Amino acid sequence: MRTDTFWSWTICIFVFIVLSNYSNTVHAVINSKNVSRYTCYNCDGNCDKPSTCDNAIVCYSYSVIDAYGFASFQRGCLDKKDLQYFMCKAKEYIPEKPNTGQYSGVCCNGDYCNNGSFPVLTPHTSSPESDAASDSVVKILQFIIAPILVLFLILAAVVFILRHFHKRRMASLVSHNDLENIYQDEFKGVVTDDSNLKDIFDYSVTSGSGSGLPLLIQRTLARQITLVQCIGKGRYGEVWKGIWQSESVAVKIFFSRDEASWARETEIYSTMMLRHDNILGYMGSDVTSVNSCTQLWLITNYIENGSLYDYLNDRPLTAQEMMTIVISAASGIVHLHTEMFGTDGKPAIAHRDIKSKNILVKDNRTCVIADFGLAVTHTQTTGSTDVGENYRVGTKRYMAPEVLEEKINPSVFESYRRADMYAFGLVLWEVCLRCLTGGIAEEYRPPFHDCVPSDPSFEDMRKVVCVDQQRPVIPNRWSSDMTLTSMAKLMKECWNHNPSARLTSLRVKKTLAKIAAADPKIHLDF
């Protein structure tokens, strides 16, 4: 019997209700000069003496009743149009079943307009008949099902112990180079403990960052989304196109064994001030059960064009499109790598898995960075580097020499940023390969396509990158194009064998802007 099925029958469904205050994130750029800004009342729970918040597009008031019937209230500011859209459109949820959280809200325009009464909610009440029925169910559970559960718990403990010793025995028989593949096979059937999920969810999903929907709406997302089509599969799970409130969303569904990646990505997306035009927009995370199997959902904006990898395979690029793609992608990496100081600051973040499949292309050809399951954060004030508890590794084809040689210093955050820039240099090569000059462009090829197999091992990449110190070949036709010649020089500085000699993300972005400005055919409007 699969242990994940066992846990699905034995672990009770947890209801997660955590209400948090929204931080008032002050954005340096206002999207439109014609949008009015208001001052609103701000409170959470105790609204007898509310404070105030500024720079709001709309003010809001919410009434909330959790699954235990406890009522609370919120007032506050919404300073972003996307937050206004999601909160004010999904302003009410009244479930049909009892013992389920419900909420109702009102959005308004004007200074202190949210000073009125709160929306009235009527909690579910149970009848004497339903109480009697509940008592009967409890007795059945106690005297009939409980002994069966105890037996299953004993069997689960035995399975867990056997797996533990089997993993240790296998680890002692193989070399370090083969350990990763065996580790993946060993954990294909490991169950996800729902108590751990609850702890992680309660800890990592916050509503104070402005990087998604309010917590209350996030916790009901899975019930409100209709999955339409599977649009991608990977080692972590699947990506589905879904419909929420008549709008398209992307739902990343993680395998239960990859819980650490889901938790890490949720934590990173909830980081203060992460929202950026070139970072994939985050809506929320949820834990749901489908056919008695626990699923970990991460909901983001839906990007119609898909990944940069798919986009490059489908069509060649003009110089204008090429520079729009690379400059916008560099802008996203700059935002990740930069630490922002202050009360509502942001830690520096290293991605650790930069590649064309983790960069998505929007309709205007600008890009967003996605997939933060391996990200590392660093706070300069405390000097702490948080690597997370994720045992996944990055994509071998894009690994920097120091990573392949296992010489990277995990306690020095700058080493992670330098590894990101090596990978971005390879992405630059992929994009430039598809740029037209004289009506000609090479077919798409991944980096090192002529040196290693389609799924290279650590040893394959170590020999090519570290021992032979090879890099992707620069086509001869680039030498006749001023822009591509400059791009070739830039990517070589990014994939330098010496990490300290590589350019920073900010330097790369500025250099790309200079290259674009020197080409009269390129006119950037972002």
Domain ranges of the chain: 38-115, 128-186, 196-301, 308-517
Q: What is the pLDDT of residue 29?
A: 43
In the set 194, 353, 420, 481, the catalytic residue is 353
Provide the b/e sequence for 173-211 (b: ≥16 CB within 10 Å).
eeeeeeeeeebeebeeebbbbbeebeebbeebbbbebbb
Q: What is the pLDDT of residue 258?
A: 82
- pLDDT reading at 193 higher than 60: no
For residues 512 and 326, the answer to whether their CB atoms sit within 8 Å is yes
- pLDDT bin (cut points 50, 70, 90) of residue 182 is very low
Provide the b/e sequence for 409-419 (b: ≥16 CB within 10 Å).
eeeebbbbbbb
- pLDDT reading at 436 higher than 90: yes
Task: Tell me if domain 38-115 and domain 196-301 are identical in fold.
Answer: no
- 2-16, 258-272, 405-419: the lowest-pLDDT one: 2-16
* Percent of the chain surpassing pLDDT 90: 45
- Tokens 């591509």 -> residue: 484
Q: What are phi and psi of 417, to 5 degrees?
A: -65, -40
**Element of type H or E holding 355:** none
297-312 average pLDDT score: 94
75-84, 87-96, 184-193, 359-368: range with highest mean pLDDT: 359-368
Q: What is the mean pLDDT of the chain?
A: 81
The yes or no reply on domain 196-301 and CATH 3.30.200.20 is yes
> Sign of the CA dihedral 268, 274, 280, 282?
positive
Q: What is the pLDDT of residue 183?
A: 34
- pLDDT reading at 382 higher than 80: yes
Annotation says 258 is catalytic: no
Q: Could you tell me which residue, 105 or 430, shows the higher pLDDT?
A: 430
Q: What is the pLDDT of residue 171?
A: 54
3-class SS letters over 424-489: HHHHHHHHHHCECECCECCCCCCCCCCCCCCCCCHHHHHHHHHHCCCCCCCCHHHHHCHHHHHHHH
**Torsion from C-alpha of 81, 303, 368, 494, nearest 10 degrees:** -170
CATH architecture entry for 38-115:
Ribbon (2.10)
Distances (CA, A) of 42 to 21, 27, 62, 165, 214: 9, 18, 11, 54, 15
Question: At the top level of CATH, which class does the domain 308-517 belong to?
Answer: mainly alpha
- pLDDT reading at 457 higher than 60: yes
Q: What is the pLDDT of residue 103?
A: 84
* Percent of the chain surpassing pLDDT 70: 79
The model's pLDDT over 73-100, given as tens digits with 9 standing for 90+, comes to 889 998 888 777 777 877 787 777 766 7
Distance (Å, rounded) from C-alpha 280 to C-alpha 358?
10
Q: What are phi and psi of 99, to 5 degrees?
A: 55, 35
Q: What is the pLDDT of residue 261?
A: 86
Q: What is the pLDDT of residue 167?
A: 65
**0.75 exceeded by pTM:** no
- pLDDT reading at 172 higher than 70: no
3-class SS letters over 196-264: HHHHHHHHHCCCCCCCCCCHHHHCCHHHHCEEEEEEEECCCEEEEEEEECCEEEEEEEECHHHHHHHHH
- pLDDT reading at 107 higher than 60: yes
Q: Could you tell me which residue, 11 or 222, shows the higher pLDDT?
A: 222
- pLDDT bin (cut points 50, 70, 90) of residue 21 is very low
- pLDDT reading at 450 higher than 60: yes
391-419 average pLDDT score: 91
Q: What are phi and psi of 317, to 5 degrees?
A: -120, 150
Distance (Å, rounded) from C-alpha 208 to C-alpha 65?
20
372-392 average pLDDT score: 84
- pLDDT reading at 124 higher than 80: no
